[in-house]
Amino acid sequence: MDSFNDLWQVVCDYCKGKVSDVAYTLWITSLEPVSFEDNTAILYVKSKFQQKIINEKYVPLFKEAFLEVLGDPVEIRITTEEDKPSGYVSPSQPEQEDPYSAKAGEYEYTFNTFIVGPSNNFAHAASMAVAKNPSKAYNPLFIHGGSGLGKTHLLCSIAHEIGQNNPNARIVFVTGEQFTNEIIDAIQKKTTAEFQEKYRKADVLLVDDIQFIGGKRSTEEEFFHTFNALYDAQKQIVLTSDRPPREMVSLEERIRTRFESGLLADVLPPDFETRVAIIRRKAELLSIDLPDDVVEYIANRLKTNIRQLEGTVKKLRAYKLLEGISPSIATAQNAIRDILNDNQPVSVTVDKIINEISRTYGVLPEDIRSKKRVGSIPEARHIAIYIVRQITQLSTEEIGKEFGDRHHSTVVYSIQTVEELMQQDSRKKEIVDDIIKNLRGK
């Protein structure tokens, strides 16, 4: 490899497959490679709060990645403005610039970079109140709304603000999928005590996409007790979901009522003025001048997803930097076309479906594909086959090959079995519908 930058990119690619998208964006991409000498990798991050979280949670992963790439153990040192090497200037900002100002632009998930409008002002105000006065303002705070509308941004902003105000606060930020995977791993390895220690000793628990735990009984049970322990200890809980609690039909009633016991705040698609403001702020952060007609063109065509607005601005900046093409209506058309294509849902694979069913039913993925007919395995297999048929283009013959070379008539029987089950048992129908919704939302 030509440089430490190249090496660090390979390490980042390795890490990306090991953590959630939120964790990767929030913590790992905030790091900058400084130097690599004497088998020690020095990385720079802007704040002491970020340094603390990264040292606690991600340094072991970095060591694992370097060992995988280089074949030798590497020490990791995370530096900040206070202890970075003399003369080192962050490549993304002037040395004297406020690292959390709008100009810096690198740390995106703060209240400073969140554009407030009629569609999100209530959720924003509630998040600010919680960040300034954890567990005293609104507890729990439940933020819900469609994908790409800023829920994760608010969640990260709360974590950032609390961490800045109280660097010693024990902040646990996790996705519903991560929580589910961790409890499954803890049960298998008999480390539930350590798992409970991690979550029930938190000062602040932030869970993104909590809807993911629905229908997974062991996960729901553990989260129920975790929620109660933190709430009784007057610790702050903030949750986000793509739907309000009343629509989380596969979730136990006792958990839904706890979600509803605090403050519910929704985020809606931004209006035209807010979309314009988002585009202009993103352009300012990326140091690119956009003509008014280009801004209005983008705002008029992308109306429901903030990520798409920001992605279009990034695309226009890439055209300018890499190809020297100035922003225009024509380049905006191309950028929007690319962004819409990039944001189309990826076809859900059979493996993903089987893994989701595995977590829901508490059986092994290989058992779902096998000929075993004990316990809940047959029902899990029927539902897996049904869902594969619902959301992929595979034929019954192709589905049969995915499930242990079963005959296509067996696949048809499984599909009919689930259809009958859903007609007879509304609870089962809710679980199947929720699993499909979760899979399509990934």
Q: Are residues 263 and 120 both part of a single domain?
A: yes
231 neighbors 140 (Cβ within 8 angstroms): yes
Q: How far apart are CA 136 and CA 117, in angstroms?
A: 25
What 3-state class would DSSP assign to 418?
helix
- The residue count for the chain: 442
What 3-state class would DSSP assign to 226?
helix
Q: Are residues 329 and 362 both part of a single domain?
A: no
Q: Are residues 137 and 219 both part of a single domain?
A: yes
What is the CATH number for 365? 1.10.1750.10
Interior angle at CA 140, CA 129 and CA 166, nearest 5: 50
What is the CATH number for 17? 3.30.300.180
Q: Which residues have a Cβ under 8 Å from the Cβ of 253 and sit 6 or more positions away?
A: none
Q: Are residues 149 and 234 both part of a single domain?
A: yes
**Residue 214 is assigned to a structural domain of this protein:** yes
Q: Are residues 73 and 121 both part of a single domain?
A: no
The pLDDT value given to residue 102: 31
pLDDT in tens, 253-296: 899 999 999 999 999 988 888 899 999 988 988 889 999 999 99
DSSP notation for 412-440: HHHHHHHHHHHHH-HHHHHHHHHHHHHHH
**Residue 104 is assigned to a structural domain of this protein:** no
**Residue 174 is assigned to a structural domain of this protein:** yes
Q: Is the dihedral of CA 178, 181, 184, 190 positive or negative?
A: negative
- Tokens representing 107 are 């740390």
Residue 312 is part of which domain span?
272-342
- The pTM for the full model equals 0.63
**Residue 331 is assigned to a structural domain of this protein:** yes
Residue-by-residue pLDDT tens, the chain, 442 positions: 457 887 898 898 888 888 876 677 778 888 888 888 888 999 988 777 778 888 888 999 999 988 888 888 899 999 887 664 444 444 333 333 333 333 333 346 789 888 888 889 999 999 999 999 998 889 999 999 888 888 999 999 999 899 888 888 899 998 888 898 888 888 888 898 999 988 999 999 999 999 888 878 888 999 999 999 999 999 999 999 988 998 887 788 899 999 999 999 999 988 888 899 999 988 988 889 999 999 999 999 888 888 889 889 988 988 888 788 899 999 999 888 877 765 544 445 788 899 889 888 888 999 999 988 888 899 999 999 999 988 876 788 889 988 988 888 889 999 999 999 988 888 888 888 888 877 765 5
Q: Are residues 122 and 262 both part of a single domain?
A: yes
Q: Which residues have a Cβ under 8 Å from the Cβ of 6 and sit 6 or more positions away?
A: none
Picking from 267, 291, 316, the residue at the C-terminal end of a domain is 267
Number of compact structural domains in the chain: 4
